[in-house]
């Protein structure tokens, strides 16, 4: 089963970090990605630029983001493949983003494609 781990955090915290602090967090995510790969669970993952760089599109308009006014923003994601939801939740608990923010675990449906 595939699951998407959506990483939510207060991006102002990230933007206020020094370069060394940011590099340390990136290092933690690289080690986490390597552990996912070694286990065979890694499918993909990417960081996202700040929410202010997003665009909200409808059939009639394009607006500057972010869409939701909230304390936490979507900062990146991983797509993993595990045998069970519990295994995906275990990986989410190990994610560096869970230390300061929240990791949303969402199943990816298989429509046979």
Domains of the chain: which residue ranges?
2-108
pLDDT bin (cut points 50, 70, 90) of residue 66 is confident
pLDDT at position 100:
93
Q: Per CATH, the architecture of 2-108 is what?
A: 2-Layer Sandwich (3.30)
Give CA angle at 109 (104, 113), nearest 5°. Answer: 140
Q: Which two tokens stand for residue 64?
A: 């500057």
Helix pair 85-94, 19-39: axis angle to 10 deg: 150
pLDDT bin (cut points 50, 70, 90) of residue 65 is confident
Residue whose C-alpha is closest to residue 80's, from 64, 91, 69:
91
């Amino acid at each position: 089963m595939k699951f998407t781990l959506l990483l939510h955090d207060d991006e102002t915290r990230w933007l206020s970090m020094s370069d060394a602090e940011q590099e340390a967090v990136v290092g933690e995510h690289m080690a986490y990605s390597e552990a996912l790969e070694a286990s065979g669970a890694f499918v993909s993952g990417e960081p996202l630029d700040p929410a202010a760089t997003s665009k909200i599109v409808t059939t009639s308009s394009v607006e500057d983001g972010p869409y939701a006014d909230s304390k936490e923003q979507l900062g990146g994601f991983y797509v993993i493949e595990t045998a069970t939801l519990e295994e995906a939740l275990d990986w989410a608990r190990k994610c560096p983003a869970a230390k300061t923010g929240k990791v949303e675990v969402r199943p990816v449906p298989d429509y046979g494609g």
